Structure 1
Amino acid sequence: MRETIPGASQSKVIIAGGSYSATMVTWFKKLYPELATGAWASSAPLFAKVNFVEYKEITGQSIRLVAGEQCYNRIQNGIAKMEELFANKRGAEVKAILKLCDAFDEYNDLDLWTLFSEISDIFAGVVQTHNTGQIESVCNKIMEGEDDISGVAGYLLTQFNSNTCNLLTYKAIIASMMDSTFDNNIMRQWIYQTCNEFGWYQTSGSRQQPFGTKFPVTLYTQMCADIYGERFTNEFIYSQVQATNVLFGGLEPNVENVYFTHGQLDPWRAMGIQNETQATILPLYAHCKDFGSISDRDSNEMRASKEKFAQLVRQWISADSDVDSVANNKAKSFLNKLRN
């Protein structure tokens, strides 16, 4: 780019990214430190992990923090009631409440896991994208129900977006992921990366979250094999994820001049650098919510973080210019000696 923009051939480069692109920014600085003077990595997950239980833990913590214990408990109890009905061979009642299509097999583990994974992901999406009032609004809707299960189900039905029945079967998910046509959504490519490099499966492996026990890591590793081939065994997936951490350093990427930020509410922050000496954690903000210009709507902490980054950019450019100046003087001195 510097070569194609008039007058920019000697310009300093500052790179920035949010979420996945923040990961790429960090790794770019690790692999090519001489090409960028500095970087801003907002909400960067850096540690690859197969069984990413912390994601749903922080999702639950954020709901509790923003909307209170009552909402957290309603979600937890409503989902637990659904699990109980399935366990007691009363799954037909859940199918009716959630308007699931006839193809859903209440006795098939993969279908059950797919359903509860989808339910948990709906709540996680609310938290990850939270703006002021967003989590609170969802909780208000949930609390309108006459009991826990009807409150949770009532909200979920507003999110499933089907006028007939909701097709939430494992087979349907796999069929969607097998569609390799150009205009299909990007999830096939993203899931491949998780199978081959990152893991990051947001499972029910922890009891410190309100979304139940029915979306284990097996759901996601099985999905890898069924979509991309038998090469994707558990051993292969775990080995690939470990290799990613070895290559890029995990939570110790060993990079300079990178400013790390995370939102306190963001479930992804568990896979990022959170040490207060290395990163800024923004209270009550979610995923990549600082990735914009200074605004009157910014909290004091948000504004201070953006101003800190601006100051860092000035420092980095100044220091880099000083290094270039020293290097240029040494080069000139060397050339003068050659001429003499």
Structure 2
Amino acid sequence: MAPAAALLMGPLLLASLWGVSTARSLLSRLGDHVQEVQARLGQRLGEPSPAKVGWLWQPLDPFNSSDQRSFLQRYWVNTRHWRSPDGPVFLHIGGESSLGPSSVLKGHPGTLAPHWGALVVSLEHRFYGRSVPPGGLDIAQLRFLSSRHALADVASACVHLSRIYNISASSPWIGFGGSYAGSLAAWARLKYPHLIWAAVASSAPVQAQLDFSSYNQVVSRSLADPAVGGSPQCQRAVAQAFSELDHGLSEGKETQAALQSEVRACGPLEIPEDQAELLEQLEGLVGGAVQYDQQVGVPLDVRGLCHLILANQTKGPLSGLEDAIQLVLHTLDLPCLPSSKAGAVAELKDTSPQAVGVGSRQWFYQTCTEFGYYITCKDPSCPFSRRRTLSAQLQLCTQVFGLSPASVTEAVTRTNTYYGGQSPGATRVLFVNGDIDPWHVLSVRQALGPSESAMLLRGTSHCSDMAPPQPSDPLSLQRGRWKIAQQLMMWLQEAKVNPGSP
């Protein structure tokens, strides 16, 4: 089918697949909200956007040439600054959520494109947003969802878009991505070096990890860090609030009903599974304050959270947590905190795709079949409840997808063997991380060689370098962005000297 026809059919084919999430984790909701706010920054009402949407036909199974099934994958393109035909191509690789027009207007690709005359392209990840194959999210379909399939899509897109836009063979493609997509950017350079000249991998957890207890170790350390507005008193107060809440939930129905009202839970808290669900949502509230610290759009950063927690010490730390809950619910326009485990499981079993936000079922499937990343609270420094166990999260893989804990463990091992974990061995990759981001411990934090470099930015959070620059940005973040631009300059100069070199 011609690209023009695909462009017209894409929305028609996929509009009926839209769904509404009801029980998503608070942490994923916070991430969506931050992205939405940042996407609106700098937009001028009434001004035509240079971002254009397109659709590519991709094979459902790129590793089986006899399988002729295909699906439409969405991409966005910004040609405003492109010096055709041999200007560089900045490729924003999509991750576990939908992509919009801001993906080719902002971040490193959009910011750096004017100086280099770059064509900016973003590619939505298969099975997310509107790039969902016919058949939806049934388990038989999801076997075609993996990072390897996503990388094959990137390679195919490089080839097809080069033809569509008459991109010169000497034009270097630079991959960009953040979080899981940051890993994809690094892996695209690793696995397809003849197509991807270099990559910037921001907050990229390239090490798959079954038990990710170190997430909460970083959360605890950041809550106590004065450099970002934390303090040891704040860390202890958060721990006391969760201890008080955990103890209260173990009391009788009267205490549970009072807590339901105080913490704005959506439903009764009499069942242990629902209690654990509520505690997980509240962990996400605190974890989100750390993970997205100081970013535009985050309702509470570490400084703000600690202020609320410590402001009402005479009433007890739980009172401060209640204030934080109220503020976050108001910001996210939520009436209450989801607290139904059955509701959360039902959402994960829902095979109807969502057009926007994080795809809960899809991403959970990828954790069960590739990455793990199950956040637990085993370390003594963890300020949260011990109810969130690894075994419970592994059992959820069995409950939703029929995957045994042993198979999940084996999948994590295979992922690290295939990509190399924290020693991927790719050249021309720059890993960028913030030291208060809980995910940085699974990334590359020190240079592995002259062509596999890394930056660890003091006092910055998850994918902060990709966010729109602000006057309040820490000096380390400002310097980090400058170093990224300098690294890009070196790569593009090298491409001119050695065109076509892998």
TM-score by length of 1: 0.86
SS class of match (1:35): coil
What residue number does 2:265 align with?
Answer: 100
Greater Cα shift, 43-52 or 200-209: 200-209
Distance apart, 1:58 and its partner CA: 0.6
- Aligned residue among 180, 183, 207 for 1:20: 180
Say if 2:199 is the partner of 1:39: yes
- The answer to whether residue 417 in structure 2 is matched with residue 257 in structure 1 is no
Taking a change above 3 Å as real, the CA distance of residues 68 and 228 of structure 1, as seen in their structure-2 partners, is same
Q: Rg: which structure is higher? A: 1
Cα separation, 1, equivalents of 2:192 and 2:209: 25
Aligned to 1:300: 475
Q: Which moved more, 1:117-126 or 1:127-136?
A: 127-136
Residue range with higher mean Cα deviation, 63-72 or 84-93: 84-93
The answer on whether the counterparts of 1:46 and 1:251 sit within 8 Å (CA) in structure 2 is: yes
Which one is further off, 120-129 or 147-156? 147-156
Query: For residues 312-323 of structure 1, what are the structure 2 equivalents within 5 Å?
Result: 312-323=487-498
1:80 paired residue among 243, 249, 270: 243
The amino acid of 1:155's aligned partner reads A
Render the CA deviation track for 1:206-262: whole Å, top value 9, x for unaligned: 222211312111231122122222xx1110110111111011110010000001110
CA RMSD of aligned residues (A): 2.6
Between 1:133-142 and 1:163-172, the stretch displaced more is 163-172
Residue 202 of structure 1, CA deviation: 1.2
Aligned partner of 2:304 among 127, 131, 137: 137
The structure 1 residue matched to 2:285, chosen from 84, 107, 122, is 122
CA distance in 1, matches of 2:277, 2:468: 39
Instruction: State the aligned residue count.
Output: 323
By how many angstroms is 1:72 displaced? 1.2
- Between the aligned partners of 1:147 and 1:157, the Cα distance in structure 2 is 16
What is the CA distance between 1:6 and its match in structure 2?
4.0
Q: SS of the counterpart of 1:290?
A: helix
Q: 1:317 deviation in Å?
A: 2.7
For the pair 1:148 / 2:321, whether they are aligned, the reply is no
Residue equivalent to 1:310: 485
d(CA) in 2 for partners of 1:99, 1:7: 54
Judge which range, 300-309 or 28-37, deviates more. 300-309
Query: Once the 2 structures are TM-superposed, how far is the Cα of residue 297 of structure 1 from its aligned partner?
Result: 4.8
In the alignment, is the contact (CA less than 8 A) between 1:50 and 1:201 conserved in 2? yes
Query: What secondary structure, in the 3-state scheme, does the structure 2 residue paired with 1:2 have?
Result: helix
Q: Hey, what's the Cα distance between the residues in 2 that align with 1:264 and 1:305?
A: 13
The correspondence for 1:52, drawn from 194, 209, 212, is 212
> Does the C-alpha gap of structure 1 residues 306 and 183 become closer, same or farther in structure 2, counting only changes over 3 Å?
closer
Unaligned runs of 5+ in 1: 328-340
Counterpart residue number, 2:11: none
Q: Distance in 2 between matches of 1:188 and 1:7?
A: 36
Q: CA deviation at 1:84?
A: 2.2
Q: CA deviation at 1:46?
A: 0.5
1:211 alignment counterpart: 384
Structure 2: 5+ residue stretches without partners? 1-160
1:55-96 per-position Cα deviation (integer Å, ceiling 9, x unaligned): 111112112112212221111001111222334555444334
Residue 2 of structure 1 contacts residue 10 of structure 1 at CA under 8 Å; is this kept in 2?
no
1:103–1:167 Cα contact (<8 Å) kept: no
User: 1: CA distance between counterparts of 2:288 and 2:336?
Assistant: 22
Q: CA deviation at 1:27?
A: 0.8
**Distance between the aligned counterparts of 2:275 and 2:501, measured in 1?**
65
Deviates more, 1:50-59 or 1:82-91: 82-91
| Partner amino acid, structure 2, of 1:233 | S
CA shift digits 1:269-315 (9 cap, x unpaired):
01101125641111111011111576655443323322322222232
Indicate the residue corresponding to 1:170 in structure 2. Answer: 341
**Residues 1:286 and 2:457 are matched in the alignment:** no
1:240 equivalent among 399, 405, 411: 411
Bigger helix fraction: 1
TM-score when normalising by structure 2: 0.59
The percent identity for this pair of structures is 24
Report the alpha carbon displacement of residue 128 of structure 1 after superposing the two structures with TM. Answer: 1.1
Secondary structure in structure 2 of the residue aligned to 1:60: helix
The residue matched to 1:40 in structure 2 has which SS?
Answer: strand
**What is the SS of the residue equivalent to 1:14?**
strand
Q: Any idea what SS the aligned residue of 1:182 has?
A: coil
What's the counterpart of residue 444 of structure 2? 273
Which gives a bigger RCO, structure 1 or 2 (Cα 8 Å, sep 6+)?
A: 1
